[in-house]
Amino acid sequence: MKRVVIDTNVLVSSMLSSEGNSARIMNLISDKQIQLFYCPAIMDEYKRVLAYEKLSITTQTQRSVVNAIEELGIMIEPAAGDIPLPDESDRVFYDTARISGSILITGNIKHYPTEAFVMTPTAFLTAYEKGGAHA
């Protein structure tokens, strides 16, 4: 089973549009076609961002999403790496993907080093549908 780490922008995009690639990826997680990995810091960011007033995501929906991630995902505690990143706040996603052998799916590809395991939602789905998307 493919392993993935979902950047917060992918999670939020999936909540704002049920038709896009981010929603398709979240459906693959819900259908247990791919395995989600996260760490406590990622969960904290998910909770913080989902609560943004400008997103208008109800408290009930926020709880439902967090509960689903906790139920379907595997929590790990990654060690911090030393590869420089343009935005150090993204380190938890990069390190969690690296340590868990997962693909990091992000809409902000420029925030990460060019690595085979860092993909946009479109690139991931294209590779996944072809039987690829190996971390």
Q: Rounded to 5 degrees, what angle do the CA atoms 98, 1, 75 make?
A: 50
pLDDT in tens, 45-87: 999 999 999 999 999 999 999 999 999 999 999 988 888 888 8
CATH 3.30.379.10 fits 2-129, yes or no: no
Measured CA to CA in angstroms, residue 56 lies from 15, 24, 51, 53, 112 at distances of 10, 21, 8, 5, 29
Q: Which helix (H) or strand (E) holds 35?
A: strand 34-38
Instruction: Specify the pLDDT at position 133.
Output: 60
Tell me the pLDDT band of 35, cut-offs 50, 70 and 90: very high
Q: Is the pLDDT assigned to residue 135 strictly greater than 80?
A: no
**Are the C-beta atoms of 10 and 48 separated by less than 8 Å?**
no
The rounded distance, in Å, linking the Cα atoms of 47 and 129 is: 30
> 21 φ, ψ to 5°?
-65, -35
pLDDT in tens, 88-130: 889 999 999 999 999 999 999 988 888 899 999 999 999 998 8
For the question of whether the overall pTM of this predicted structure is more than 0.75, the answer is: yes
What separation, in Å, do the N-terminal and C-terminal C-alpha atoms of the chain show?
A: 11
Instruction: Please state the rounded mean pLDDT for residues 9-33.
Output: 95
Annotated domain spans of the chain: 2-129
Q: Is the pLDDT assigned to residue 134 strictly greater than 60?
A: no
